[in-house]
Amino acid sequence: MRLDKFLADVGMGTRSEVKRLIHQGAVAVNGSGRISPKQQIDPKHDVVCCFGTELHYQKYVYYMFYKPKGCVTARKDKTHKTVMDYIDVGRTDLFPAGRLDLDTEGLLLITNDGTLAHNLLSPAKHVRKTYLAKVDGCVGAKEAEAFANGLDIGDDTPAKPAKLVILSSGEASDVEVTITEGRYHQVKRMFHAVGREVLALKRTAIGDVTLDAALSPGEFRELTKEEEEALKAGKRE
């Protein structure tokens, strides 16, 4: 791996910023400051220090992000702020695993692990995604049964059975929905199929990983080892 890429990936700055650090003499490899940004290093064996502190490389990283409303789940967008605009860790290889609609908030995984992202998103894996929703009108046992049986939402095949828990019911109802797919606008389309419209939507969990209550919209943190292992194990239906 090139030295400048290593430094950028461990969060020391952009490629141009880390090149300045190297030229300023702030970086040493195996005790030597006679280095260049293009120098090839082995992250497993070479010792890289910046300002005297040893740096440790992680091939794969995992962040829990509280996506706010109004930003798009993309790396770049000409019109809106993207989720990646919030992730200021220096790495350039990160991407959102899955997506949330523009007006949906909540838990989003940011990573560079393509295999894990595929497993979380694959319909064949049946990984649970849990949402809190505010829905117009009274939601009751009839809607819960319809969700449990699977719903025709206009696709070639019906949506798989989902769990609908009613938290409060009235002119507007608060519910918790757990699905095992990730179709386009799925939760909204499922409620539309039973004559209800979603007023607000928030994803609270992916498998056994739950959105940290200490995070505010727009904030993120690294996953704990336990959370990382839970995602890799994959909570199934």
* Residues with active-site annotation: 101
Strand 198-206 versus strand 105-111 pairing type: parallel
Whether the Cβ atoms of residue 73 and residue 98 lie closer than 8 Å to each other: yes
> What is the bridge-based pairing of β-strands 53-55 and 27-29?
unpaired
Cα gap 163→166, rounded to integer Å: 10
Per 3-state DSSP, what percentage of the chain is helix, strand, and coil (rounded to 5)? 25, 30, 45
Task: Return left, alpha or beta for 83; rule: phi > 0 is left, psi -120 to 50 is alpha, else beta.
Answer: alpha
| Residue pair 230/207 in contact by the 8 Å Cβ criterion | yes
Element (H, E) at 57: none
